[in-house]
Chains A and B, each alone.
Chain A
């Protein structure tokens, strides 16, 4: 980790400047989606921003929400995404994708990707929460069935972790 203070540091300053330079809804929406894919969730591209990513994501959200207020009509704030899409159609497509997931590992990626792409303010919160609750419920059903049916060793393999250390006496399989 970087050896500098948490609340005021060069990384946050650098991102604040980048965010200031966003001038269109399209760019701001793309920036937040890219940022979330690169820096959030256990599947992120790297952990370089582990200390700062929540702060930066929050600043991107503020910027996009502010720009939506400036550039979108009042009615559209509740009925369209930042990119002008129909939330209901998007939600239905992602719910169908979740229902067709062949196992829990595919299903969890569906939910995480949905959140990285559409978490507010990209999608209006009224539509997002409905879709997220449905997707979350479906994922939990799949994840929590036969919860103890797999040994820890097998589960580690399924998850794809590299076991670095197991204290003496612990079973490896």
Chain B
């Protein structure tokens, strides 16, 4: 049989570069380095305003045999624990149901992030010119593939073992109707893979991974454990062991452009925009998932945020990059304010729109309300009273025919969607830094909620054209939209989203239709 051209080329290459005879990691590493790319013809297909240096080093010193061996052991431990020990212990059904619902969001959304990170790391591989730097990015591609599988496996495991699999089994089918999806795609997809390749690295590695994986992947394990979930820590901590090397890749991206004085014109702007982009979504969403999606609280989100985002990332990590001219983002102080109230604002809106979700939300009980008031003084008078009024109006009971979004409309509290972040906000109820501004441009109306995002849009309007759910479905009755957007369970009538975590009194399409709720576009009404 004739050898293929690729096999022949590989055979010839091996004659020149003899394969190592041992498994010494450094020997293997040196050997791998001898395989090179043709820099003379290297011209990336991705745009960037930066010039990456040709001699950048990578910090991944263990690749090939050592890498594969390390990851294989981690996978064996993780999958072995899940498929054997945790299955026998019935762990899939032992967490508090509020947390079981939270994991529908966390694992599905992180899966999207990991999936896009595969493309992002590959784009950086294509953009870099230094051999070692390419190696670092290439290894990250492999990591991200592993992480995508891991997140999918969490959903697979829960689908089989958790008492309410709807939402774990096929969340993405609801992506057109759920208001949280679009913002998630802004941070986890657009932010990682669109625009300047180096800006994408800043989004993914310098902010997403170095800053937000700590609360997203590490802190979430503490909340999971507190709520009886042993599955999430088994998987997420295994993921996080790789993240450190990705943070190192972000560091090396900055090192590779620091040689060029022109970089200083752009880097801090890109960092500020990336930080604001990521925090605008993660700050409220993570806070909401932890505090409102759990029964047993670990600590107030604002404390977690201050420790990981403000002090560890904004101070220490960015401080280490100071020698390359990197400064803490000026938007950090606005974000710090959001860390206190933004997640409460978001829960109000998420709960008001519960039928559009692929997970169940529950109102805080009396004990939880006391916890909120103790940790966020003033919470009850602003949020607690509204939630209690909704409860009194029967929002949990299908016979009430009452959806809280109707209460917001009736009381003049319009819900807008920020064009840039795609995060919903209600200016008349928000206690976070959100402030409404509406602009008309080329006969189209756009709403924004902050200075940083508005400036991004004014500078690059073609990047932020996503329609909001209110624009998309204006004038349409909500049950029709939910059915069309696949928000119904396998029985064809019960909704996936529910306003409680009880086993009875589940809302159906008919119950929702009876509420007579119609989408309206706040920009047009």
Contact = CB atoms under 8 A, between A and B. Distances in A.
Contact of B45 (A46, A130, A158): A130
Interface stretch (B141-149, B202-210, B470-478): B470-478
B173 to A, nearest CB: 12
A91 B462 CA distance: 21
Interface in A18-58: 41-44, 46-47, 50-51
B45 A167 contact: no
A159 interface: yes
A148 B465 CA distance: 22
A22 B69 CA distance: 56
A112 B460 CA distance: 11
B269 A5 contact: no
Nearest to A140: B49
B437 interface: yes
Contacts of A155: 455, 458-459
Given A160-B441, A165-B436, A143 B45 contact: no
Contact of B442 (A44, A108, A112, A133): A44
A145 interface: yes
B472 A51 contact: yes
Contacts of A166: 436-437
B444 interface: yes
Q: Which bracket fits the contact residues of B? A: 35 or more
A5 B458 CA distance: 32
B66 to A, nearest CB: 35
B458 A162 contact: no
B47 A147 contact: no
Interface string B42-86: 011111110000000000000000000000000000000000000
B451 interface: yes
Interface in A117-160: 129-130, 132-137, 140-141, 143-148, 152, 155-156, 158-160
Contact of A141 (B49, B439, B451): B49
B196 A5 contact: no
Contacts of A129: 45
B266 A130 contact: no
Contacts of B288: none
B269 A144 contact: yes
Q: Which of A41, A141, A144 has the most CB of B within 10 A?
A: A144
B454 interface: yes
B472 A6 contact: yes
Given A42-B465, A144-B265, A164-B439, A1 B473 contact: yes
Given A152-B455, A155-B458, A130 B43 contact: yes
A100 interface: no
A173 interface: no
A42 B47 contact: no
Contacts of B441: 42, 159-162
B119 to A, nearest CB: 15
Given A112-B462, A133-B46, A144-B49, A169 B270 contact: no
Contacts of B475: 1, 3
Interface in B254-276: 265-266, 269-270
Interface of A: 1, 3, 5-7, 41-44, 46-47, 50-51, 108, 112, 129-130, 132-137, 140-141, 143-148, 152, 155-156, 158-167, 169-170
Given A44-B442, A164-B440, 12 more contacts: A1-B474, A6-B176, A42-B462, A42-B465, A108-B462, A136-B196, A137-B49, A144-B49, A145-B265, A147-B269, A147-B455, A156-B439
25 contacts: A3-B475, A3-B476, A41-B462, A42-B441, A42-B444, A47-B444, A133-B47, A136-B47, A136-B196, A137-B47, A140-B48, A144-B265, A152-B454, A152-B455, A156-B439, A156-B458, A160-B441, A161-B440, A162-B441, A164-B439, A165-B436, A165-B437, A166-B436, A166-B437, A170-B435
